[in-house]
Structure 1
Amino acid sequence: MMRLKMDGFLAGLVSVIFVCCCQPTFAQKGWQALFNGENLDGWEKKNGTATYRIRDGAIVGISKLNTPNTFLCTKETYSDFILEMDVKIDSGLNSGIQIRSLSLPEVNNGRVHGYQVEIDPAERAWSGGIYDEARQGWLYPLSINEKGRKAFKNGDWNRYRIEAVGNTIRTWVNGVQCANLIINLTPEGFIALQVHGIKQKSQEGLTVSWRNIRIKTENIADDRWKPDNDVEEVSYLANQLTERQVSEGWRLLWDGKTTEGWRRASAKDFPPTGWQIENGLLKVLPSEKGDPNKGGDIITDREFANFELELDFLITEGGNSGIKYLVVEELRQTPGTGLGPEYQILDDDRHPDAKNGIDGNRTAGSLYDLITARNLNEPGKNKRINKPGKWNRAKIVVNGNHVEHWLNHIKVVEYDRGAVAFNDLVAKSKFHEVPDFGQASSGHILLQDHGDLVSFRSIKIKEL
Structure 2
Amino acid sequence: MHNGLLQISLTYQLYQKMRKLSILILAVATTSCFTGCAPEKKKKKVDDGWTYLFDGKTLNGWKQVAGQAEYQVTDSAIIGIAKAGSPNTFLISDKEYGDFILEADIKVENKSSNSGIQFRSNYDPAGKDGKGLVYGYQAELDPSDRAWSGGIYDEARRGWLYPLSLNPEAQKAFRFGEYNTYRIEAIGNEIKTWINGEEVAYLIDSTDTSGMIGLQVHSINNPEDAGNKTYFKNIRIQTENLKPTPFKKDIYVVNDLKNHLSDYEKEHGWQLLFNGKDSSGWIGAYKDSFPDFGWTIHDGILTIQAADGGESTNAGDIVTKKEYSAFDLSFDFKLTEGANSGVKYFVTLSEGNKGSAIGLEYQILDDEKHPDAKKGRDGNRTLASLYDLIKADKQPRFVKPVGTWNKGRVVVYPDNKVEHYLNGVKVLEYQRGSEAFRELVAQSKYKGWKDFGEAEKGHILLQDHGNKVSFKNIRLKELK
TM-score normalized by structure 2? 0.83
The answer on 1:156 being equivalent to 2:178 is: yes
The alpha-carbon deviation at position 163 of structure 1 amounts to 1.4
Q: Which residue of 2 aligns with 1:277?
A: 297
Describe the SS at the equivalent of 2:451.
Answer: coil
Q: Which residue of 2 aligns with 1:203?
A: 225
Q: What amino acid sits opposite 1:431 in the alignment?
A: Y
The answer on 1:77 being equivalent to 2:114 is: no
Q: Of 194, 211, 218, which residue of structure 1 is paired with 2:216?
A: 194
The question of whether the paired residues in 2 share the 8 Å contact of 1:88 and 1:155 is answered with yes
The question of whether the paired residues in 2 share the 8 Å contact of 1:307 and 1:463 is answered with yes
Change (3 A) 1:214 1:26: farther
Cα deviation 1:21-73 (Å, max 9, x = unaligned): xxxx9994222121223332222233233222222222222223333322221
Q: What amino acid sits opposite 2:156 in the alignment?
A: A
Superposition RMSD on alpha carbons, in Å? 2.6
Describe the SS at the equivalent of 1:422.
Answer: helix
Cα deviation 1:104-160 (Å, max 9, x = unaligned): 479877632211101111112111111122233222222233332112111111111
What is the alpha-carbon distance in structure 2 between the residues aligned to residue 269 and residue 105 of structure 1?
A: 56
Q: Of 40, 55, 58, which residue of structure 1 is paired with 2:77?
A: 58
Structure label with greater radius of gyration: 2
Q: Which residue of 2 aligns with 1:386?
A: 400
The question of whether the paired residues in 2 share the 8 Å contact of 1:322 and 1:345 is answered with yes
The answer on 1:263 being equivalent to 2:277 is: no
Q: Which residue of 2 aligns with 1:286?
A: 306
Change (3 A) 1:277 1:121: same
The alpha-carbon deviation at position 458 of structure 1 amounts to 0.8
What is the alpha-carbon distance in structure 1 between the residues aligned to residue 128 and residue 306 of structure 2?
A: 30
Q: Which residue of 2 aligns with 1:295?
A: 315
What is the alpha-carbon distance in structure 1 between the residues aligned to residue 146 and residue 293 of structure 2?
A: 46
Change (3 A) 1:70 1:97: same
The alpha-carbon deviation at position 270 of structure 1 amounts to 2.1
Cα deviation 1:329-360 (Å, max 9, x = unaligned): 259544x6211010011233333322222222
The alpha-carbon deviation at position 456 of structure 1 amounts to 0.8
Q: Of 422, 427, 440, which residue of structure 1 is paired with 2:455?
A: 440
Query: Sequence identity, in percent?
Result: 49
Q: Which residue of 1 aligns with 2:66?
A: 47
Higher mean displacement: 411-420 or 346-355: 346-355
Residues 351-362 of structure 1: matches in 2 within 5 Å?
351-362=370-381
Ranges in structure 1 where 5+ consecutive residues have no aligned partner: 1-24, 376-380
The question of whether the paired residues in 1 share the 8 Å contact of 2:311 and 2:466 is answered with no
Q: Which residue of 2 aligns with 1:350?
A: 369
Q: Which residue of 1 aligns with 2:49?
A: 30
Change (3 A) 1:181 1:452: same
Change (3 A) 1:27 1:306: closer
Ranges in structure 2 where 5+ consecutive residues have no aligned partner: 1-43
Q: Which residue of 2 aligns with 1:368?
A: 387
Q: Of 432, 453, 465, which residue of structure 2 is paired with 1:417?
A: 432
The alpha-carbon deviation at position 301 of structure 1 amounts to 2.0
Q: What amino acid sits opposite 1:195 in the alignment?
A: V
The alpha-carbon deviation at position 81 of structure 1 amounts to 0.9
The question of whether the paired residues in 2 share the 8 Å contact of 1:30 and 1:216 is answered with yes
The question of whether the paired residues in 2 share the 8 Å contact of 1:273 and 1:293 is answered with no
The alpha-carbon deviation at position 326 of structure 1 amounts to 0.8
Change (3 A) 1:383 1:365: farther
The alpha-carbon deviation at position 453 of structure 1 amounts to 2.4
Aligned residues: 432
Change (3 A) 1:290 1:353: closer
Residues 199-278 of structure 1: matches in 2 within 5 Å?
199-221=221-243, 224-278=244-298
Q: Which residue of 1 aligns with 2:471?
A: 456
Change (3 A) 1:92 1:106: closer
Change (3 A) 1:276 1:68: farther
What is the alpha-carbon distance in structure 2 between the residues aligned to residue 455 and residue 105 of structure 1?
A: 37
Q: Of 291, 313, 317, which residue of structure 1 is paired with 2:337?
A: 317
What is the alpha-carbon distance in structure 2 between the residues aligned to residue 270 and residue 107 of structure 1?
A: 49
Q: Which residue of 1 aligns with 2:356?
A: 337
The alpha-carbon deviation at position 371 of structure 1 amounts to 0.8
The answer on 1:166 being equivalent to 2:188 is: yes
What is the alpha-carbon distance in structure 2 between the residues aligned to residue 415 and residue 246 of structure 1?
A: 28
Q: Of 115, 131, 149, which residue of structure 2 is paired with 1:127?
A: 149
Cα deviation 1:231-263 (Å, max 9, x = unaligned): 444322220111122222221111111112222
The question of whether the paired residues in 2 share the 8 Å contact of 1:26 and 1:214 is answered with no
Q: Which residue of 1 aligns with 2:106?
A: 87
Q: What amino acid sits opposite 1:95 in the alignment?
A: S
The question of whether the paired residues in 2 share the 8 Å contact of 1:266 and 1:333 is answered with no
